[in-house]
Amino acid sequence: MAEEVREPDATALDEVVTFTSELIHIDTTNRGGGDCRERPAAEYVAERLAAAGIEPTLLERTTGRTNVVARIPGTDPTAPALLVHGHLDVVPADPSEWTVHPFSGEVRDGLVWGRGAVDMKNMDAMVLAVVRSWARQGVRPRRDVVLAYTADEEDSAADGSGFLADRHAALFEGCTEGISESGAFSFHPEPGTTLYPIAAGERGTAWLKLTAHGRAGHGSKVNTANAVTRLAAAVARIGAHTWPVRLTTTVRAALTELAALYGIEVDTHAPDFDVDLVLDKLGPAAALVAPTVRNSANPTMLEAGYKVNVIPGAAVAYVDGRMLPGAEEEFAETMDRLTGPDVEWEFHHREVPLEAPSTPRPSPSCGPPSSASTRTGTSCRSPCPAAPTPSSSPGSASPATASRR
């Protein structure tokens, strides 16, 4: 079999559209708390891997919460393995808020529409189409490639990557790098400019549960210990809070290199450096880095009461928080202050922040890419062929690569 990896064939280009559409049509909505069933999508993937001669392994911690893992042997057994992974579940979608049914997978105007078209059944389909193309062409990669299609990414990952890491780590033996969502897609901030972000880290997930206790009573009576009022005040403070800028090393590199693509010289260590001013100058490209310069906390869910004329004794809210590397203690201290003495808070789900170190180029002139960069294009409008920028994932906190062409 050939060792050189070739471009996907024409069949792959057709299959990727079909696979994306059909995977979207399989409703794998994850409502949290175990309310999801990925098995139909997992079986869809497994059948198509098997048809290409790639042996899939289906694994479940909970019935219906299915993961698929497969290994494609490389030609060099001494080379480290590469993990390529995607998740099969999606967040909920209300059809009344869509112009196209979110689980139709409809192809219209040259696009595939539906929940998962971006996050991330599109990449699931791309990986599936590429490895099937390899099989048709007799291609083997130099290193082993481990494929993982996981469950439960949109909630706690307890039935997905957490389960696989805890119970089936041997399947990933030798993997030294992983590729998944939040990077390597093309981003078009303006005509003639294409950026290719590659995520190298992310903010840590900090999903919070807030609970306010008070004195239950009739709605017609004065109540100075109303749990709903106490909770609402805390939620309002959290929602209105402006988090201070906290630039990690890799985000500084990202800002420097992305600004250089637009001819903007920045010194992120200058005492008067204004990151918001720089973001304004970057226009649409600012979306690649804006979520990574601060911690954040957004109230998302409220639960209280059972009748309009009854004041409940407790009220609950949920907050989607994200913590930068090194800013976890500040996050907790801030939540203590914002919630106040009448509201308790706890981590409903927590993941540690991740960051890969990066060294920016010493100047925006042409030169070798930084340690975090790779060339992603052969031509460019600006002097630099490549530069690190962060991914646009809300959890992302680190740089990647970008090119103008």
The predicted structure's pLDDT at residue 183: 60
Please give the average per-residue pLDDT across 172-186, as a whole number. Answer: 84
Question: Under a CB-based contact definition with an 8 Å cutoff, are residues 391 and 358 in contact?
Answer: no
Is pLDDT above 80 for 243? yes
Buried b (16+ CB within 10 A) or exposed e, 10-25: eebeebbbebbbebbb
Average pLDDT over residues 330-343: 98
Q: What is the pLDDT of residue 217?
A: 97
- Give per-residue pLDDT as tens, 104-156: 999 999 999 999 999 999 999 999 999 999 999 999 999 999 999 999 999 99
> What order of strands is seen across the sheet that includes strand 66-72?
57-60, 66-72, 145-150, 81-87, 175-179
Record the tokens describing residue 98, joined without a space. 């869509």
Of 15, 38, 89, 119, the catalytic one is 89
Mean pLDDT of 238-263: 92
pLDDT surpasses 50 at 233: yes
- pLDDT value at 346 more than 60: yes
Question: What local confidence, expressed as pLDDT, does residue 201 receive?
Answer: 73
- What average pLDDT score do residues 58-66 get? 98
CA 336 to CA 329: how far, in whole Å?
A: 11
CA count, 13 A, side-chain hemisphere, 42: 26
Q: Which residue has the tokens 């590729």?
A: 179
The percent of residues above 90 in pLDDT, for the chain, comes to 76
pLDDT at 153: 96
Q: Is 153 a catalytic residue?
A: yes
The confidence score (pLDDT) of residue 130 equals 96
pLDDT at 5 over 80: no
Q: Higher confidence at residue 394 or residue 175?
A: 175
In this prediction, residue 151 carries a pLDDT of: 98
| Side-chain half-sphere CA neighbours of 337 within 13 A | 8
Look over the chain and give the mean of its residue pLDDT values, rounded to a whole number. Answer: 87
Is residue 261 classed exposed, middle or buried when 0-12, 13-18 and 19+ CB atoms within 10 A define those classes?
buried
pLDDT tens readout for residues 300-322: 999 999 999 999 999 999 999 99
Tell me: the pLDDT tens digits for 355-393? 876 655 543 332 322 323 322 222 223 323 333 344 434
Q: Residue 85's pLDDT band (boundaries 50, 70, 90)?
A: very high
- The pLDDT value recorded for residue 86 is 97
Q: Choose the catalytic residue: 15, 38, 124, 153.
A: 153
| Average pLDDT for 288-305 | 96
pLDDT digits (tens, 9 = 90+) for 267-283: 999 999 999 999 999 99
Question: Residue 157: is its pLDDT beyond 60?
Answer: yes
Check: CB of residue 254 under 8 Å from CB of residue 198: no
What's the pLDDT score for residue 379? 25
Q: Tell me the percentage of the chain whose pLDDT exceeds 70.
A: 85
Averaged over 220-226, what is the pLDDT? 97
pLDDT at site 358:
60
